[in-house]
Chains A and B, each alone.
Chain A
Amino acid sequence: MNMREKIEAAAARYPDQRSAIMPALLIAQREHGHLPGPVLEEVADILGVERIWVYELATFYTLFHTEPVGMFHLQLCDNVSCMLCRSEDLLRHLEAVLGIKNGGTTPDGLFTLSTVECLGACEMAPVMQVGDDYHGDLDITRIDALLDRLRAAAEQVTGADLAAAALAGE
């Protein structure tokens, strides 16, 4: 299914098209990596809803990115349970090895680093979400191994895909 078909299928679950804006934005973000203005307008047009309704959701909810993010978005929880398990040390380490600050993206477009509120996986604190996956019981050794795996995964991607991803991430 293309993006329009996916959005229309999601919209069929609701009696009111406005309810479908959130699922539509999630679909669009998977497709485009982030949600620039023209994508928001396309979503509004597919659903036949006011553009302002789409803009306001895209900027209210934190999982929607109106700005580009790296190929791998490292989302480190620093809420209480993770903080008690020394998530701060991991943040400092990630900032040092990636050479970016919290909120920043590496120049090669591979990594964006963000601290996030509780991920709901406190039994494996400290925890970090990367894409769809949770990584728990982290320490500096495991973080380094994870970064190596992610870099290797990126190299698997063909040159053309990488260029496209970096472009989407700029």
Chain B
Amino acid sequence: MFEPILLRNVDVPDGHLLSTYEAGGGYQALAKALREHTPDEIIDLVKKSNLRGRGGAGFPTGAKWSFVPKRAGKPKYLCCNADEGEPGTFKDRIIMERDPHQLIEGMAISAYAIGAETAYVYIRGEYTLAICRLERAIAEAHAKGYLGTRILGSDFSFVVYIHCGAGAYICGEETAMLDSLEGKRAQPRLKPPFPAVEGLYASPTVINNVETLACVPHIVARGPDWFRSIGPDKSPGPKLYCLSGQVRKPGLYELPMGIPLRELVEDCAGGPLPGRKLKAVIPGGVSAPLIPERGMDVGMDFDSLAAAGSMLGSAGVIVIDDSTCIVKVATRIIEFFHHESCGKCTPCREGLNWVVKVMRRVEAGQGAPGDLEQLEALCKGIFGNTFCALGDGAAMGLRAALAHFEHEFVAHIEERRCPFH
């Protein structure tokens, strides 16, 4: 039986208060890090743990930290990506609402490792309860000396500020987030330079997701070998899975990385609604290509899902049953990306505008022969030709829907109606 690690406090009454967190051993990992380890040793521990970023890309966290120059001659920044805009994802919200100190402790240890004295938590503006709880937790941690000047008697000083987003999915893209933090419209930057070298205010900056940072205290407290013993060696650790859509028990589940998608949907979340059959699952937020029911034995980790032609992404698992039209789902996803395109580059801005028009007419039963070839041509024009991954995500998702459910698209065009209406 897997014991929850990241979610161990979320159902505890007053789990968001410092007293509850301390009673469960909270901030002892920070004390241990400051007392027993140099910053480089912390980076080594995280490297050895094989922790990979939980925001979607799965980049090794320790390696990301090690790219920060040791002597930059400028302040260094830690940014926590709490924008959580990927449809189907709600894990970071729940951590911040119910166990915000876990995140603060993770940030403090991470900042110590990279030599940052300031962190900004970029939280989407809709998350008012999370913002309120985290603000209170920061004040509590300050009052107790876990944040502020010379933390726990060490010579490490560190402050955390909250920066509220204002409704733009693109801010989850790390360089767009930096532009947004600098008070600009959120648009991705060309890389290199990478943020580790030239990020916020052109200073060395590390951007980590909430869940990634929440793993850090546990790695310090229990060691990298313990962390690697959970799930696959190349993508280990506890993982938060967000289950939603047409499933009996939607909710947030914590299980090891690599658990089969089928087990997650059928055993944990209770399977499809009464009288319905599973049709497809989007495994990692709408940027992740859908997986048809027959592919659901895949393991939920970065490498297994990539090999299966999809991605773990944010682990926003959206369950779709046999009552649902895939063309309708795919159209809604494309409408989302079209709405959220920041407008910086032409293939995404114009291409998605065009894709939306074609998808809407196909779904409405007004598609023309040649529309599917047109969609593929548009995907080809977008994929790989944009500054950031927003356009890629849109193209990959649509291609998967076309590949696995071509018959539904064809039926819409031939019957001149949506067969599900």
Chain B 302-322 interface 0/1 with A at a Cβ cutoff of 8 Å (1 = within): 000000000000001011100
Q: Min CB distance, A14 to chain B, in Å?
A: 8
Contacts of B406 in A (CB 8 A): none
Chain B 67-95 interface 0/1 with A at a Cβ cutoff of 8 Å (1 = within): 00000000000000000111111101100
> Which of B84, B185, B243 lies in contact with A123, CB distance below 8 A?
B243
Contacts A19-B181, A84-B320, A84-B324; A63 near B163 (Cβ below 8 A):
no
Interface size class, chain B: 35 or more
Cα distance, A60 to B89, chains bound together (Å): 23
- A62 in contact with B168 (CB, 8 Å): yes
Count of chain A residues near B, Cβ 8 A = 42
- A81 in contact with B245 (CB, 8 Å): yes
- B88 in contact with A23 (CB, 8 Å): no
B329 close to chain A: CB less than 8 A: yes
> Which of B90, B246, B316, B339 lies in contact with A117, CB distance below 8 A?
B339
Of all chain B residues, which has the CB nearest A119? B126
Cα distance, A146 to B201, chains bound together (Å): 45
Cα distance, A129 to B126, chains bound together (Å): 8
Contacts A22-B183, A123-B252; A79 near B332 (Cβ below 8 A):
yes
Contacts A81-B244, A122-B242; A61 near B332 (Cβ below 8 A):
no
Contacts A79-B332, A84-B245; A16 near B183 (Cβ below 8 A):
yes
* Most chain B Cβ neighbours within 10 Å, of A13, A25, A60: A60
Chain B 284-303 interface 0/1 with A at a Cβ cutoff of 8 Å (1 = within): 00100000000000000000
**B window 152-181: CB within 8 A of A:** 161, 163-169, 180-181
B125 close to chain A: CB less than 8 A: yes
A83 close to chain B: CB less than 8 A: yes
> Which of A13, A26, A56, A80 lies in contact with B87, CB distance below 8 A?
A80
- A21 in contact with B244 (CB, 8 Å): no
- B185 in contact with A60 (CB, 8 Å): yes
Chain B 322-342 interface 0/1 with A at a Cβ cutoff of 8 Å (1 = within): 001000110011001001100
Contacts of B90 in A (CB 8 A): 120-123
**A window 43-100: CB within 8 A of B:** 49, 53, 56-57, 60-64, 78-81, 83-85
Cα distance, A119 to B83, chains bound together (Å): 11
Cα distance, A49 to B183, chains bound together (Å): 10
Q: Min CB distance, A121 to chain B, in Å?
A: 6
A132 close to chain B: CB less than 8 A: yes
Of all chain A residues, which has the CB nearest B86? A118
- A57 in contact with B183 (CB, 8 Å): yes
A101 close to chain B: CB less than 8 A: no
- A120 in contact with B85 (CB, 8 Å): yes
Cα distance, A18 to B336, chains bound together (Å): 29
A110 close to chain B: CB less than 8 A: no
B127 close to chain A: CB less than 8 A: yes
- B87 in contact with A118 (CB, 8 Å): yes
Contacts of A120 in B (CB 8 A): 84-85, 89-90, 92-93, 124, 126-127
Contacts of A26 in B (CB 8 A): 125, 164, 166
B251 close to chain A: CB less than 8 A: yes
- B168 in contact with A60 (CB, 8 Å): yes
Contacts of A56 in B (CB 8 A): 184-185
Q: Can you report 21 A-B residue pairs in the complex whose CB atoms are below 8 A from each other?
A: A19-B181, A19-B182, A22-B183, A60-B168, A60-B185, A61-B168, A62-B168, A63-B126, A79-B87, A80-B286, A80-B333, A81-B87, A81-B88, A81-B250, A83-B332, A84-B324, A85-B246, A116-B167, A120-B90, A120-B127, A122-B88
Which 7 pairs from chain A and chain B are nearest by CB?
A18-B183, A122-B244, A61-B166, A62-B167, A118-B87, A63-B167, A81-B244
